[in-house]
Structure 1
């Protein structure tokens, strides 16, 4: 029997409201980023306390991350859309109109965290593990900005969980289609599952089973997030491109490779990851430490 998706109830049809409520523009990205940062900082501080690490360290780090990540996310996006922004240079700073890339934010955040760790003389991977759950949760929240802005949706579809996009927000080549894959929802749900995985590993490690080496959570984040992003990116209609390549898929493959190599380094070779400071000395199983 062939299932006719078109005949199923439309209970899961989403309608993107657009970036305005009535005639009032609402900066959804800014609002959601602010919410994600507040929740993320609180969560990272809580996890730091559970690892007996000064939570104020994460509060200080969050300032560095925000200052570095948001401009880096914008620069990354603009570079791969330069042919558009070269015609309107004044739009380069118009981040409130959308156009940021999470991979750019991650790169900027990593660079800032490396400098911060070096200056504070704390292991980078210790910080990365504490931030990873907050990072993926923030990504899950931030993806809803795409929904409200009617952007980053997928190819046309007739699935019962399809997304209605207003005519003025559709690409010209797809103007005759009404419903599209809600890729924002796919990625948000996937990120929430990765968040659950990271928290599960974190709290299990507190009891010493399994005991995690420094950098494990961040490497798992790289692999798990990149797997989902690689698949979801293939559905999108507005990917950043470099010739025939979808940049996000190339970066996702790199992230998966880096994460798997890192996990193999930690657990097959049983060696600590290179760090900006001397590795934290291993402690007996079951003792709460910073790794």
Structure 2
């Protein structure tokens, strides 16, 4: 799949940018529905978005570049080529959290409730981005055997130009981005159902949907990390797995502290 979707005169319109805009618009629609169900004003979200969008994108890119620093040291200019893919989920989440906390605290909004209500939109965005990574072959899993038939339904065919150095003979790789999109879809459904049921029965404390969704996201990223392509097989865990493990532990700690304070 080509990077450029179409041209407006001399301006290149990239698929990755269009996909991000699509995910953002649908995500806003989902959030608006959730806010309406819970009787929360949605209008402040527009003010929050002015800060969240640029900060989250910048953090997502910086985080990705830091993790893959060796690949960028030889070509510094590639750091700014965001249209070629390369956004870290954790970087985006960090930017989102930092911006949201400052904004919500400053204007006196219910932080944990807002996080709960925004979580389905975050998950939807991640699903769309992972599907984009799959279609554009940005995320490669481990290579599959050379004898894989052309109609293999559980493999991702990777064009020759996108194959890693030394693995040009391999046509098929584990579709890790597709696996993640499917797993995030399950978490998305769970989060929406919990919010809908909790609207009536109030069985979950504020922040629970958000925290448990983050834990599940980290577990998914940690597990699928074992299927990601890497030329370094001597590592116990890859950098993203260590980050996922840290996020899991930190989120569980926050949940326990929150429950202790609530009781």
Query: Residue 179 of structure 2 corresponds to which residue in structure 1?
Result: 186
The answer on 1:254 being equivalent to 2:238 is no
Q: TM-score, normalised by structure 1?
A: 0.79
Query: Residue 42 of structure 1 corresponds to which residue in structure 2?
Result: 29
> Retained in 1: the 8 A contact 2:62–2:91?
yes
Query: Residue 211 of structure 1 corresponds to which residue in structure 2?
Result: 203
CA offset at residue 143 of structure 1?
Answer: 0.8
Structure 1 gap ranges (5+): 1-16, 273-291
SS of aligned partner of 2:74: coil
Instruction: Indicate how the Cα distance of structure 1 residues 239 and 115 shifts in structure 2: closer, same or farther if over 3 A, else same.
Output: farther
Instruction: Indicate how the Cα distance of structure 1 residues 93 and 261 shifts in structure 2: closer, same or farther if over 3 A, else same.
Output: same
Query: Residue 121 of structure 1 corresponds to which residue in structure 2?
Result: 108
> Retained in 2: the 8 A contact 1:233–1:239?
no
CA offset at residue 21 of structure 1?
Answer: 6.7
Instruction: Indicate how the Cα distance of structure 1 residues 165 and 58 shifts in structure 2: closer, same or farther if over 3 A, else same.
Output: same
Shift >3 Å, 4+ stretches: 17-26, 238-241, 262-267
Give the alignment's Cα RMSD to 1 decimal: 2.6
> Retained in 1: the 8 A contact 2:222–2:240?
yes
Q: Distance in 2 between matches of 1:146 and 1:239?
A: 20
Query: Residue 222 of structure 1 corresponds to which residue in structure 2?
Result: 214
> Retained in 2: the 8 A contact 1:46–1:55?
no
Greater RCO between the two (CA within 8 Å, min separation 6)?
1
Q: Distance in 2 between matches of 1:123 and 1:239?
A: 46
Q: Distance in 1 between matches of 2:6 and 2:49?
A: 35
Query: Residue 32 of structure 1 corresponds to which residue in structure 2?
Result: 19
Instruction: Indicate how the Cα distance of structure 1 residues 198 and 239 shifts in structure 2: closer, same or farther if over 3 A, else same.
Output: farther
SS of aligned partner of 2:227: coil
> Retained in 1: the 8 A contact 2:6–2:14?
no
Q: Over residues 66-117 of structure 1, what are the superposed CA-to-partner deviations in whole Å (9 max), with x where a residue is unaligned?
A: 1210011111112223333333333222211222211111111111111111
> Retained in 2: the 8 A contact 1:153–1:182?
yes
Whichever structure has more helix as a proportion of its residues is 2
> Retained in 2: the 8 A contact 1:155–1:181?
yes
SS of aligned partner of 2:154: coil
Q: Distance in 2 between matches of 1:21 and 1:95?
A: 15
The answer on 1:19 being equivalent to 2:3 is yes
Task: Tell me the matched-pair count.
Answer: 253
Query: Residue 162 of structure 1 corresponds to which residue in structure 2?
Result: 155
Instruction: Indicate how the Cα distance of structure 1 residues 160 and 90 shifts in structure 2: closer, same or farther if over 3 A, else same.
Output: closer
CA offset at residue 240 of structure 1?
Answer: 11
Query: Residue 194 of structure 2 corresponds to which residue in structure 1?
Result: 201
Q: Distance in 1 between matches of 2:231 and 2:257?
A: 33
The answer on 1:67 being equivalent to 2:67 is no
